[in-house]
Structure formats: C-alpha cells, structure tokens
C-alpha cells in the first residue's frame, strides 16, 4: 500500500532554484559541436551558439551554468581563451581524449552563452596547475569597472563594461584530477587562493570550495574545521560534493541502453544513495555550522556509463533512457528534502556528455531532447517554491535479494499558491496506486503530465526523437481531500493541484 500525506498549508524552506543548474565542460562534444559551432557554421547560430540548443535550454529556466570544468578547469589558463580567436594558443585536452583545444570558446564566449540562456555564470578556477595571480586577474578581468591592466585588456578585446559573476569555484576535485591533494593541504591552498578572489564594486562573489568525492566524509570534516578566518567567519559560502550513479563500479562498466533489469535496479539504488550522502555530509556540516551559513553544492551528479559504441572513450558520450529519467527524479526529490543545506546542484553535463539534456548528431544539425530533459522540464515548477512537508509509505520494488522503495515523491507550493506534486515509480513491471491525503487545501482541479515508456531502455534517437516524451496524465482522481494516483510502471508524474 502506497500512502502519501501532504500538508499543503505548512512548509518553511525554499527549494533554491539553483538546484536545477547545469555543468558544461570542455569535454568531447559538450561545448564544441553541442553548444558552440562558431559564427561561420552552417548550423543556425547566434554569435556561434546553436540556436536550437539555446532555445531548448532556455525553456528549462536554467539558473546557472558551471564552466569550464571539471578536470579541465585545473588545466585551463584563461588568458589562452581571450583575444582574436585566430591568435589564441592551442593546448592538449589531456583529460578528455587528448584532442587539441583551440580555445575558440573562452571567457567572452561563455558570458555570451549565459546571456543567451538567461542564466548566471558559475566559473571554476584553476588551483591544480594555476597560480593565485592568475585566478586573481581572471576575477579582475571579468568584474572590475575601473582603470587597471586587466580592464584595459578586456576593453582591447571588445568589452568595456564589466560582467557580473556571483558563483566562483576554487578548484575542482582537488583530491584527484585537481592536484591529488590531501584535504589538509587543499584547505590551506583554498584559504590562500580565496583571499585574492576579490569583490570589485558591488559584485559579491559566492566562493565555493572544492568538496568531497562521494562518501569521503573526512574531506568534508577537514574543510569545515579549517576554513574559518581570523574573525571566526567561514572563508567559503559553499562546499561542493560530487557523486555519480555508476552501478557500484569504477571505471563505469554498465551500458546506457540494452541493459538487463539488474542494471536498472543497481543504478536506481545508486541514485537513492544521494539521500544518505546528503544526510551524512550535512550532519558533519551541522556540527561546525549549525546556522547553515555554508551551502552544500552538489556541482556534479548524474549517471556515468560506458560510451556509445564507436565513439571516443574520452568523450563520455552516452545515450539517455527512461532509467535516467528516474535517476533525475530521485535526485531532485532528495535535493528538495535537504534544501535547508543544499543550495545548488549541477547535473553532469548539459549536452552530449554523461547524463545530458540534449544530444546532437555529429556533422549535422539534428538534436534530440533526452528523457532527463523532460524531467527537468516537468520539475521546473518546484524552482524557488516552498517545500511541503510530506510523509510517504511505499511498497518495495525488489530485485533478487535487494529492494528499494518503489515510490518517491516531492511537493511544493509556488509564490502564486499553486501546489505541485511530483511522484515516480521505479518499479519497471508493476503499476502502483498511491493514496494521497491532501491536508490544508481544497483542491478543485488537477492537471498533470506523465513520462513513461514500454521498455526500461526506451530512449530518443535522431530518427525517432519523440519516442519518450511527456503526455497528459489522466490517472489522478479526487474524492474530497483524498487523491488517488494510478502510477504506471517506470514513470514520472507531475501534478498541478488548483483550487
């Protein structure tokens, strides 16, 4: 029996819209080909950005975009990516396929992209192979509005007005590709680097320290213990966390499509572990920061499979199925539950890499929206809404000797008073009925959308781009304050409950 109780007139915490943010790295065909094709390309573009991709992403109300990496960030030297494109030095992208990076997409192009997307920029600076001066000057180049060598340079490159940037990461995965540091060493490096990440004018930077890999609670503990300044205040505004759903193996060994039920189960069980991670990292943060001044920033999450056959192993190009749709829904439900601490998350990655929203066909102008895209679309109603307290008792979805709850749910009330309820069914075989008691509101009208499919690995292709897409949902019925939801097997539903 699946029983849900929602208190529609309660709730005090806001679901920060930045939970719905994105990550685009110089990796494979994410930036080049996926987003940026250059002004001379045959693919319709505006100042080099693909019009179709930008329009699709705008529709999601992306709050911010993290760039340029990832592992690439700690090898990126920003001065290589400014000035006339033809003069920009080239480099080898050693992390991702060993391809030549021509730096044609740099700082100016990134801010242009963010302007076209209507989102805020989030830059991750280079700690691993960069210098303090380099990071300091990048901030000055972007945000200073006075006379200085960096602003002269910016003007020479065609931009007299400074940009504004709030989110700044001080390194990425510094326990690994960002320098293989011990947490104690990184904490000291963080203290030093962040000192020179200045607030110019009224541009106030939200500093994000490189955080833990998945279950490395010691990293969080050491960072929280060692990042206060002389006045007792934290020197960071956010601490990051990275976690990928891989099916318990590294390097990733599961395929994105044509998988058996065991791999469906393993990935969804991995996705559900995000809740445990948030709980445990938050508990450590609570000890040092009971006022919750430091946000937990999950700036990389998503599925990671083996690459599509015939594609460059370093490009991390993978298909995206109904399983990924469930992974996205389970993550959002967890992020909402912990929204007192989780201020931002960034899915990895936006286009053509890992759990992407959009896949573009190489050498053509075709693109597809993935099942994950559709979940972002269905869930966007929760951005900046008030989290509603709910209790859920779920049937189990068992596979072999293991089981996870079949049902997951989250609910919120937006600023206009509309209540939205998202419910998902991870069980690939069994439809489930959810009995929902609605407290504190009179519902007169219900509308909804459902994303479901016949097979576990249903996905969109360039020839069949609409195989998996949301349709109107007619499985909700109301009797007084009792709502009954008939959830199809492997489905994600979002309902709007109106007076």
Nearer to ligand AHR, 266 or 352 (CB): 352
Give the span between the Cα atoms of 416 and 438, in whole angstroms.
18
Contact 390, 5 (CB under 8 A): yes
Could you please report the per-residue DSSP string of 328-344? HHHHHHHHHHTTTTEEE
Which range in 41-49, 67-75, 277-285, 435-443 contacts ligand AHR by CB under 6 A?
Answer: 67-75
Nearest approach in angstroms of CB 331 to ligand AHR is 15
Q: Show contacts with ligand AHR in window 324-363 (CB under 6 A).
A: 348-349, 354
Nearest approach in angstroms of CB 345 to ligand AHR is 13
Which range in 63-71, 254-262, 317-325, 491-499 contacts ligand AHR by CB under 6 A?
Answer: 63-71
How far CA 193 is from CA of 71, 119, 266, in Å, comes to: 18, 26, 40
Q: What secondary structure letter does DSSP report for 73? A: G
Nearer to ligand AHR, 71 or 436 (CB): 71
Give the span between the Cα atoms of 283 and 293, in whole angstroms.
14
Nearer to ligand AHR, 69 or 428 (CB): 69
Beta bridge partners of 321: 459
The residue count for binding ligand AHR (CB under 6 A) is: 10
Nearest approach in angstroms of CB 250 to ligand AHR is 10
Nearer to ligand AHR, 26 or 337 (CB): 26
Q: Which of 252, 347, 301, 315 is nearest to 99 (CA)?
A: 315
Nearest approach in angstroms of CB 175 to ligand AHR is 10
Nearer to ligand AHR, 72 or 265 (CB): 72
For the window 242-281, what string marks contact with ligand AHR as x by the rule CB under 6 A?
----------------------------------------
Catalytic position from the list 75, 101, 140, 300: 300
296 token code pair: 């937990």
Nearest approach in angstroms of CB 251 to ligand AHR is 11
Nearest approach in angstroms of CB 313 to ligand AHR is 13
Q: Is 25 one of the binding residues for ligand AHR (CB under 6 A)?
A: yes
Catalytic position from the list 25, 101, 140, 173: 173
Nearest approach in angstroms of CB 289 to ligand AHR is 24
Which range in 39-47, 66-74, 151-159, 204-212 contacts ligand AHR by CB under 6 A?
Answer: 66-74
Contact 255, 310 (CB under 8 A): no
Q: Which of 442, 423, 396, 402 is nearest to 495 (CA)?
A: 423
Contact 7, 412 (CB under 8 A): no
Nearer to ligand AHR, 273 or 439 (CB): 273
- Reply yes or no on whether 308 is catalytic: no
Q: Show contacts with ligand AHR in window 150-189 (CB under 6 A).
A: 172-173
- Reply yes or no on whether 140 is catalytic: no
358 token code pair: 């959009």
Nearest position to ligand AHR, beta carbon? 70
Q: Is 294 one of the binding residues for ligand AHR (CB under 6 A)?
A: no
Kind of pairing between the strands at 390-393 and 2-7: antiparallel
Nearest approach in angstroms of CB 327 to ligand AHR is 15
Omega before 349 within 30 of 0, i.e. cis: yes
Give every strand in the sheet of 407-413, ordered side by side: 386-387, 407-413, 419-425, 491-498, 445-452, 471-472
Nearer to ligand AHR, 300 or 377 (CB): 300
Q: Which of 141, 105, 115, 127 is nearest to 175 (CA)?
A: 127
CB neighbour list of residue 342: distance below 8 Å, 6 or more residues apart: 16, 19, 278, 295, 296, 297, 298, 335
Nearer to ligand AHR, 67 or 397 (CB): 67
Phi-psi category of residue 11: left, alpha or beta, with phi > 0 → left and psi -120 to 50 → alpha: left
Q: Is 372 one of the binding residues for ligand AHR (CB under 6 A)?
A: no
Q: Show contacts with ligand AHR in window 398-457 (CB under 6 A).
A: none
Chain-centre distance for alpha carbon 299: 6
Chain-centre distance for alpha carbon 87: 33
**Which residues are the active-site residues?**
173, 300
Binding site for ligand AHR (CB under 6 A): 25, 69-71, 172-173, 300, 348-349, 354
């Amino acid at each position: 029996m699946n029983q849900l109780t929602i208190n529609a007139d309660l709730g005090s915490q806001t679901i920060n819209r930045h939970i719905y943010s994105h990550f685009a790295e110089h990796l494979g065909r994410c930036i080049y080909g996926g987003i940026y094709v250059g002004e001379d390309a045959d693919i319709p573009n505006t100042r080099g950005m693909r019009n179709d991709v930008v329009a699709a992403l705008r529709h999601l109300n992306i709050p911010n975009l993290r760039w340029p990496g990832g592992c690439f960030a700690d090898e990126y030297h920003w001065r290589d990516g400014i000035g006339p494109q033809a003069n920009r030095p080239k480099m080898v992208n050693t992390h991702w396929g060993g391809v030549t990076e021509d730096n044609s997409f740099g700082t100016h192009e990134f801010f242009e992209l963010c302007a076209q997307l209507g989102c805020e920029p989030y830059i991750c600076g280079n700690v691993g192979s960069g210098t303090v001066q380099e990071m300091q000057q990048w901030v000055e180049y972007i945000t200073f509005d006075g006379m200085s060598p960096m602003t002269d340079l910016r003007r020479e490159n065609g931009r007299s007005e400074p940009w504004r940037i709030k989110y700044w990461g001080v390194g990425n995965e510094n326990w690994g590709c960002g320098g293989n540091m011990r947490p104690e060493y990184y904490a000291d490096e963080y203290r030093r680097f962040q000192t020179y990440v200045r607030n110019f004018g009224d541009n106030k930077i939200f500093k994000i320290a490189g955080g833990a890999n998945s279950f490395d609670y010691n990293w969080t503990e050491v960072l929280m213990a060692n990042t206060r300044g002389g006045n007792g205040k934290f020197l960071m505004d956010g601490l990051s966390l990275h976690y990928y759903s891989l099916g318990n193996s590294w390097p990733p060994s599961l395929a994105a499509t044509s998988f058996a039920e065991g791999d469906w189960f393993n990935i969804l069980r991995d996705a559900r572990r995000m809740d445990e991670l948030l709980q445990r990292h938050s508990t450590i943060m609570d000890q040092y920061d009971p006022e919750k001044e430091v946000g937990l920033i999950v700036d990389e999450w998503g599925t990671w499979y083996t690459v599509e056959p015939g594609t460059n192993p370093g490009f991390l190009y993978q298909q995206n199925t109904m399983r990924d749709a469930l992974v996205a829904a389970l993550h959002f439900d967890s992020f909402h539950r912990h929204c007192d601490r989780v201020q931002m998350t960034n899915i990895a990655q936006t286009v053509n890499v890992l759990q992407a929203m959009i896949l573009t066909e190489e050498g053509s102008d075709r693109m597809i929206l993935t099942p994950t895209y559709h979940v972002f679309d269905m869930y966007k109603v929760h951005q900046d809404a008030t989290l509603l307290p709910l209790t859920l008792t779920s049937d189990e979805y068992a596979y072999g000797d293991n089981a996870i709850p079949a049902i997951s749910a989250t609910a919120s009330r937006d600023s206009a008073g509309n209540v939205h309820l998202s419910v998902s069914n991870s069980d690939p075989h069994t439809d489930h009925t959810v009995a929902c008691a609605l407290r504190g509101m009179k519902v007169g009208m219900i509308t909804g959308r459902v994303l479901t499919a016949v097979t576990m690995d249903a996905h969109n292709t360039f020839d069949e781009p609409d195989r998996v897409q949301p349709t109107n949902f007619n499985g909700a019925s109301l009797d007084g304050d009792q709502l009954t939801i008939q959830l199809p097997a492997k489905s994600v539903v979002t309902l709007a409950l109106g007076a």
